[in-house]
Amino acid sequence: MLSLLSVALMGILLAADSSSAINLDINSVDSVSNAAQGVASNIMTMYSNTSEIPGLFPTPYYFWEGGLAWDSMINYWALTGDATYNPLVGEALLYQRGPNDNFMPQNQTTTEGNDDQSYWALAAMTAAERGLPVPQSDSALAVTWAELAQNVFDSQTARWDEATCGGGLRWQIFTFNNGYNYKNSASNGNLVQLAARLALYTGNATYSDWAQKVTQWSLDVGLIANEDGVVFDGFDTTTNCSSPNHIQWTASAGTYLSGAAYASNKTSTTFWNGIGFALYTNANTTFAPNGTLTEVACQSKCNTDQLAFRAVLARALANMRDLTLDSPVTQEPGCSVNNTKPSPSCADVGTIHASIDAVLKTSAQGAAAQCSGGTDGSACGADWSAFTWDGTQGLGQSLSALEILLANLPAVQRRTAVSTSSVVTGTSSNGTATSSNGTATSSNTTATSSNGTATSGVSSSNTSSSASASTNVATGCSASTFALLAGMGFVVASFM
């Protein structure tokens, strides 16, 4: 590893001569696919170099990150067409499915949290939507990808806890684990996303109702701050969720955003469009203030888990672009939906999709430049704002880089379990595409819209709370909602 340091010091030289990734042409599908192929190969080499158990990456990588890795590798195949790794990926997912087919394998059960479990469920969901083939070695499999995801949904909704905080999913599953007395955005946001995707995939209204219920609870309790779409990390249940941990992570914001995008696609209600827009606006201003996605809470001090979080937000931004209808961006609340109000403050500043694409492109160019490290020039660093390798490498960096590259490839239609028409016209009891006012919009995001489109009046200048949150946390890289399983104090600055 000593050589890495000297390589880092010679970063400029390296950047000047090395890999094709640096010459990424962000507007070329082939160029982006090639860059993604290099990163995917790095991830799979890391896996085959170090893994002893199918599906798992060894220490320092926790269980959840394996789930995220397989999710990203399925997405890689779906968007590039490179099926090379599919058998290994399918085997990895299935090996960890556990005796009850809900991703609680016995080796993990005593340390597994709800968010760990749901990362695997989301990977199974991606496998279902993309039609990942079941590997030959599991040809007698009696369960489908979607059923694995449904089983996780069933086990988590059974853990919904109304004894404190008016509802919510706790972070941990077991009372004896640190974090049992914590209700966090990663667990609840992942449940929203899982439910929204199951709703779109199956057309079953139970899932739509839960997606809305968990989101509504998150708004009511203040895990998502109503007006500006800020997603906080979580709350202590022993004080009835009265005081949030204000730290913001890209993964938590991203998982709720993906949930809203899928839910809007199923039923374009004011509720979903409004919350999706607010989440997006906050994510854009908080995590990409200079146009590049950044883990603002820790930056160069991010721990192993945190380095992977941007993978989740990169995917979410692509989902927002691909699954929701575009709309104009207005700068001030009160601006009309059609931007004809003759006030300078209501100038049309483009569309949501264009704004998403701008961040995705800039970030991917930075990520590609980072993926020139290690002894073979294929390892990825984390600092997407710098165009020379930052000297770090690891699974989290590579997963984030892979997803930001994939987010720049053209969308591929997802599958559903039933015919498209029956999904679209499905009998969701709550909200249909024609609803002009939806339900339960305690988020203050509907003021200017008379239509169900994403025309929130959230002010892009109203970012004071996110700005101060990022200032706050920049002073110390504190509690990740993962990785606190080693008996350390809870929600402390253990990772500085």
Q: Binding residues for ligand NAG, per CB under 6 A? A: 42, 45-46, 49, 53, 95-96, 105, 107, 150, 153-154, 165-166, 204, 206, 209, 212-213, 216, 221, 226-227, 240, 264-265, 268, 281, 284-285, 288-291, 294, 296, 322-325, 329, 336-338, 340, 349, 352, 355, 375-376, 385, 413-414, 429-430, 436-437, 439-440, 444, 450-451, 460
Determine how many CB atoms are found less than 10 A away from the CB of residue 410: 8
Rounded-to-integer distance, Cα 308 and Cα 427, Å: 37
Q: Which residues pair with 379 in a beta bridge?
A: 373
Q: How far is the CB of 98 from ligand NAG (least distance, A)?
A: 7
Considering the complex, state which of residue 338 and residue 488 has its C-beta at the smaller distance from ligand NAG: 338
Task: Give the nearer residue to ligand NAG in terms of CB position, either 23 or 436.
Answer: 436
Cβ nearer to ligand NAG, comparing 46 with 186: 46
Going by the DSSP 8-state scheme, the letter that residue 351 receives in this structure is B
Smallest separation, CB 341 to ligand NAG (Å):
7
- Rounded to the nearest whole angstrom, what is the least distance from the CB of residue 374 to ligand NAG in the complex? 6
Q: Which is nearer to ligand NAG, 191 or 492 (CB)?
A: 191
Distances 456 to 332, 390, 441 between C-alpha atoms, Å:
10, 38, 12
Question: Residue 331 or residue 494: which is nearer to ligand NAG going by CB?
Answer: 331
- Name which of 8 and 337 has its Cβ closer to ligand NAG: 337
From the CB of 473, what's the least distance to ligand NAG, in Å? Answer: 12
How many Å apart are CA 465 and CA 228, to the nearest integer?
Answer: 8
User: How far is Cα 138 from Cα 136, in angstroms, rounded to an integer?
Assistant: 5
CA terminus-to-terminus distance, the chain: 22
Smallest separation, CB 173 to ligand NAG (Å): 17
DSSP result, 438-487: -S---SS--TT-SSSSS-----TT--HHHHHHHHHHHT-----SSS--SS
Q: Which is nearer to ligand NAG, 375 or 488 (CB)?
A: 375
Instruction: Closer to ligand NAG by CB, 132 or 198: give it.
Output: 198
Shortest Cβ 495–ligand NAG spacing (Å): 19
CB of 186 to ligand NAG, least distance (A): 20
Cβ 105 to ligand NAG, closest distance in Å? Answer: 4
Chain position carrying tokens 């895990």: 223
Least distance between ligand NAG and beta carbon 32 (Å)? 20
Rounded distance, CA 173 to CA 252, Å?
18
Are 250 and 466 in contact, with CB atoms under 8 Å apart? no
Question: Cα–chain-centroid distance for residue 71?
Answer: 11
Burial class (CB in 10 A: 0-12, 13-18, 19+), 5: exposed
Q: Which is nearer to ligand NAG, 385 or 494 (CB)?
A: 385
Q: Closer to ligand NAG by CB, 299 or 494: give it.
A: 299
What residues have CB less than 8 Å from 241, skipping those under 6 apart?
164, 165, 166, 168, 183, 221, 222, 223, 235
Copy the structure tokens of residue 145: 């990808």
Minimum CB separation of residue 270 from ligand NAG in Å reads: 9
- Residue whose CB is less far from ligand NAG, 30 or 140: 140
Return d(Cα 121, Cα 112) in angstroms, integer.
Answer: 13
**Spatial distance between the Cα atoms of 75 and 14, rounded to a whole number of angstroms:** 30
Phi and psi of 479, rounded to 5°? -50, 115
Residue 284 Cβ vs ligand NAG, minimum distance, rounded to whole Å: 4
Q: Would you list the DSSP string of 203-261?
A: --HHHHHHHHHHHHHHHHHTSEETTTTEE--EEEGGGTT-SEE----HHHHHHHHHHHH
- Token pair 């080499």 in the structure block, residue: 45
